[in-house]
Amino acid sequence: MNSTTLPAPMLSDKRNAHRSSLLIAFSAYLRYNTVMTQRTFKSILITGASSGIGHAVALEFAKQDVHLTITGRHTDRLHALEAQLVAKGASVTAQILDVVDRSAMTEMARDAEANNPFDLVIANAGIASSPNDDTPAEELICDIFSINLAGVLNTVLPAATLMRARGAGHIAIVSSIAGLRGLPTAPAYSASKVAVKAWGEAMRPQLAADGVGMTIIIPGFVESRITDANTFPMPFIMPAEKAAKIIVSGLQRRKRTIAFPWQMVWLMRCLTSLPGPIFDAVLSRGPKKA
Ligand SMILES: NC(=O)c1ccc[n+]([C@@H]2O[C@H](COP(=O)([O-])OP(=O)(O)OC[C@H]3O[C@@H](n4cnc5c(N)ncnc54)[C@H](OP(=O)(O)O)[C@@H]3O)[C@@H](O)[C@H]2O)c1
């Protein structure tokens, strides 16, 4: 029997049932959102916190009852940040660690599990070449992949194993607008960022099945040591503090993707929809990086 032939009372019963299931779904959604936004992170690992985006995100998260584990390679900058975080009331573990050192990264995650199990891990450490970089190209290309790709795996894999075992936790990977497509202006850098973005997205359902969330962070130009070295115009560049506010707010809402500023996201989406030869011709005009 189709709806046009239903007697009036049956039809309204069906509509009411439909309405109440919509209401139940909507209130479940509201409850879920409220619980997720109220559940703040208590133990956070940020790699590459000694400058730029990682540094600003650490400061944005710092308050009482939050434990921050910050890593980087530069001792003075990392310990200066440690003092700032402690002054804001956070407890801090500062560790000089190279993300390329897989066993040291695994050991750090296991140590934390015993004391302050991470509920958020931000794989942020990364490098980019600058047009005036004097390191030999092949060496630079290998370094970019080691740090930006293997370094992310070394950060995420041990933490994800521990989080999955306890059925809770959240992981964030810092990709880039340059990671929306391979770019002729920065082949190695853009490819490393494409790879971590794709890997994080592909891992999301498996992690979710074990209670672990995944956010991909896709910044445009942000003031940092990376962009300080650039000599070309950087549209819509923003201070690291502003980027950190966007990132922390997105993480607190457990967003799947945090891409900003919208103007750069939009610009890159337009460019990537161009036919390949036109895209290559337009983008190849920029300064060349590794
Ligand atoms: N700034 C932008 O416009 C922009 C845009 C999109 C994406 N990103 C990404 O954002 C992330 C942060 O970069 P940033 O812009 O804030 O640059 P940054 O100021 O140069 O910061 C990079 C951080 O990564 C750390 N790092 C580099 N190599 C490392 C290694 N092998 N082991 C451990 N730590 C290492 C650095 O620590 P040390 O100096 O102590 O070694 C530093 O703390 C990177 O993944 C970058 O690709 C940046």
Of 111, 113, 75, which Cα lies nearest the Cα of 94? 75
What's the whole-number average pLDDT of the chain? 91
- Ligand 1 touching residue 96 (CB < 6 A): no
- Ligand 1: atom nearest CA of 73 is 40
The Cα–Cα gap between 140 and 229 comes to 15
Q: What's the pLDDT tens digit per position in 192-247?
A: 999 999 999 999 999 999 999 999 999 999 999 999 999 889 999 999 999 999 99
Residue 199: how many CB atoms within 10 A of its CB? 18
Q: Which CATH number is associated with domain 40-283?
A: 3.40.50.720
- β-sheet bridge partners, residue 91: 67
- Which residue in this structure is represented by tokens 């005009």? 285
Q: What's the pLDDT tens digit per position in 38-60?
A: 479 999 999 999 999 999 999 99
Classify residue 214 by burial, with Cβ atoms within 10 Å: 0-12, 13-18, 19+: buried
Report the Cα–Cα distance between both ends of the chain, in Å, rounded: 66
Residue 134: how many CB atoms within 10 A of its CB? 6
CA distances from 32 to 57, 172, 248, 285 (A): 25, 20, 19, 47
- Ligand 1: atom nearest CA of 55 is 43
Residues found in the chain: 290
Q: Over 80: is that where the pLDDT of 148 sits?
A: yes
**Comparison of pLDDT for 119 and 23, the residue scoring more:** 119
- Ligand 1 touching residue 154 (CB < 6 A): no
Q: What is the pLDDT of residue 285?
A: 84
Global pTM value: 0.89
189 has catalytic annotation: yes
Q: Which member of 61, 189, 199, 260 is catalytic?
A: 189
Mutational pocket test of ligand 1: of 78, 121, 127, the residue with most ligand atoms within 8 Å of the beta carbon: 127
Q: What is the pLDDT of residue 19?
A: 72
Q: What is the pLDDT of residue 32?
A: 46
CA of 165 to the centre of ligand 1 (A): 29
Bond preceding residue 235 cis, omega within 30 of 0? no
